[in-house]
């Protein structure tokens, strides 16, 4: 129990930097009273405190409303370090580097699709591999992998698996330019060359959804959303490739910590100066994993479009299957932000948190420059997902960051002990959701009861002015590993 919590507002609590010797900044947690209790029970607040020890950290160690225990950083953690003298930590990004979400629109109305939903889900399941270690339809040689890691979605476009407009609607236009494949281990190459176009397992999914509520009509129109619309959400990341890069560089960072004699409250916060060879190498490899993840979601989009074409006997273009946006929620990014009146170049770690730039903060050639960045928040199989938008206020709050999902309240092990996958599938079917899963027994890990209520989480984000609700989506069909 943290005894010194200060209630700043109904949606914000503060742990002062004087709470524990060695904290460089305070901890700021965006929650209400109910979510705060869940975070305390999970001991995730201890990780918020630990992150405040990170060398070069500025302003605060932040936590989003979906906060829960993670590796080093809490999931839902945000921390920015000064590029000049700060450190970078793989624990602030996570093992599934650039795990993220994209949303595809259609011009279909959900009730018109209902008779074909089971056929569509079966076709998607047939086309898209899912589950641990699954291989995709594409296997790249070394030269092809280097091209993809260097260019991201641009390389996928050159191979004919993307539309030209897709790139415009991907964060960073689908490529982190700092990527350097020379900084990636051979083991990572081995694990990644045949996993493109695969969902993976855990909380990754491809979900058919219906727009059931519009909260901001103007923004929804700009986003191309309307009530009862049939949309497609894809949630996946960098698969075994990104996991291997994180594993490799945690070992590197451990050696740096020992060499520098750094005292950290948790060895999982292993880090290196951003300007050091080790720090630069990690960022270059992490950027490769980000390009891989964005490319992976693009390949998934290609196979999804093909599935829709087969079932509806129309082209994906005629079905209006354009990309609304693709955004990552496990990344470290170099960004400019104002801290105490001074513009600074920062390395912003977002671990289970989403960038949420408000109006006029995206690049000027972005189609969303004037209104702000779309934020895509997946829920769980039995409840809702949301489309939000970044706010101007979020820049002052937490470096333009918001939540990334519902956030777990039950570990996967605990969920499997208390919930039966077959019973869950039957319950969801009774609610009208069609589930295609690689292993029914593993569905229990991702049961609604294992997560916080995503509606509560996004309400706190809106109350704290981190992001604003645009639309609510409900699941109709779910493809999971």
Measured in whole angstroms, the distance separating CA 389 from the mean position of its chain's CA atoms is 15
Q: Which two tokens stand for residue 474?
A: 């409900």
192 burial type by CB count under 10 A (0-12 exposed, 13-18 middle, 19+ buried): buried
Annotate 107-176 with DSSP letters as a single string. Answer: S-BHHHHGGGHHHHHHHHHHHS--STT---S----HHHHHHHHHHTHHHHHHTTSS-GGGGGGBGGGG--
Contact call for residues 196 and 136 (beta carbons, < 8 A)? yes
Which two structure tokens, joined as six digits, stand for 93? 């990004």
**Residue entry with tokens 């609304």:** 324
Cβ atoms of residues 434 and 179 within 8 Å: no
Name residues whose C-beta falls within 8 Å of residue 413's C-beta, 6 or more positions apart in sequence: none
If you write DSSP's letter for every residue of 305-361 in order, what string do you get? HHHHHHHHSS-TTTTT--EEEEEESEEEEEEEEEETTEEEEEEEEEES-EE---TT-
Residues 64/377, Cβ–Cβ less than 8 Å: no
Residue 288: burial class (beta carbons within 10 Å; 0-12, 13-18, 19+)? buried
Question: Any catalytic annotation for residue 404?
Answer: yes
DSSP secondary structure letters along 361-393: -S-TTSTTTTT--EEEE---TTS-EEEEEE-HH
Do residues 223 and 387 make contact, with C-beta atoms less than 8 angstroms apart? yes
Residue linked to tokens 């006029």: 360
The one catalytic residue among 68, 235, 404, 439: 404
Closest CA to 403 of 446, 334, 450, 351: 351
Helix (H) / strand (E) element for 437: namely strand 434-437
Q: Report the run of H or E that residue 428 belongs to, with start and end.
A: helix 421-430
Task: Quote the CA–CA distance of 274 and 406 in Å, as a whole number.
Answer: 31
Q: Which helix (H) or strand (E) holds 41?
A: helix 33-42
Tallying the residues shown for the chain, one arrives at 481
**424 three-state secondary structure:** helix
- Which residues participate in catalysis according to the annotation? 404
């Amino acid at each position: 129990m943290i005894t010194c919590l200060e209630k700043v507002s109904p949606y914000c609590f503060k742990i002062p930097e004087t709470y524990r010797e060695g904290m460089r900044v305070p901890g700021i947690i965006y929650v209400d009273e109910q979510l705060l209790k869940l975070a305390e029970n999970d001991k995730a607040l201890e990780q918020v405190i630990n992150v405040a020890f990170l060398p070069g950290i500025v302003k605060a160690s932040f936590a989003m409303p979906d906060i829960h225990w993670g590796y080093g950083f809490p999931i839902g953690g945000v921390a920015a370090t000064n590029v000049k003298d700060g450190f970078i930590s793989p624990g602030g990004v996570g093992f599934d580097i650039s795990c993220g979400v994209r949303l595809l629109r259609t011009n279909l109305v959900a009730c018109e699709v209902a008779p074909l939903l089971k056929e569509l889900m079966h076709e998607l399941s047939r086309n898209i591999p899912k589950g641990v270690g699954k291989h995709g339809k594409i296997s790249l040689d070394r030269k092809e992998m280097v091209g993809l890691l260097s260019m991201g979605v641009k390389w996928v476009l050159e191979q004919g698996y993307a539309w030209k407009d897709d790139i415009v609607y991907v964060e960073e236009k689908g490529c982190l330019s700092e990527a350097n494949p020379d900084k990636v281990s051979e083991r990572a190459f081995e694990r990644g060359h045949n996993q493109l176009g695969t969902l993976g397992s855990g909380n990754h999914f491809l979900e058919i959804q219906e727009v059931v509520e519009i909260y901001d009509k103007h923004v929804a129109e700009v986003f191309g959303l309307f009530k009862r619309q049939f949309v497609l959400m894809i949630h996946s990341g960098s698969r075994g490739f990104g996991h291997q890069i994180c594993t490799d560089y945690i070992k590197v960072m451990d050696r740096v910590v020992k060499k520098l004699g750094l005292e950290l409250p948790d060895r999982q916060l292993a880090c290196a100066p951003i300007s050091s060879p080790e720090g630069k190498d990690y960022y270059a490899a992490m950027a490769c994993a980000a390009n891989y993840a964005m490319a992976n979601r693009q390949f998934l989009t290609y196979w999804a479009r093909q599935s829709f074409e087969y079932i509806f006997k129309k082209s994906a273009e005629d079905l209006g299957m354009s990309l609304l946006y693709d955004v990552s929620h496990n990344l470290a990014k170099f960004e400019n932000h104002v801290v105490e009146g001074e513009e600074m170049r920062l390395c912003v770690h977002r671990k289970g948190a989403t960038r949420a730039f408000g109006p006029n903060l995206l690049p000027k050639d972005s189609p969303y420059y004037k209104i702000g960045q779309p934020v895509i928040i997946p829920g769980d199989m039995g409840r809702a997902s949301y489309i939000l938008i970044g706010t101007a206020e979020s820049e002052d709050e937490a470096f333009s960051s918001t939540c990334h999902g519902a956030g777990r309240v039950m570990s996967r092990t605990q969920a499997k002990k208390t919930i039966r996958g077959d019973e869950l599938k039957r319950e969801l079917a009774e609610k009208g959701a069609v589930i295609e899963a690689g292993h029914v027994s593993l569905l229990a890990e991702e049961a609604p009861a294992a997560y916080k209520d995503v509606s509560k989480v996004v309400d706190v984000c809106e109350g704290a002015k981190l992001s604003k609700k645009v639309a609510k989506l409900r699941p109709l069909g779910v493809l999971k590993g």
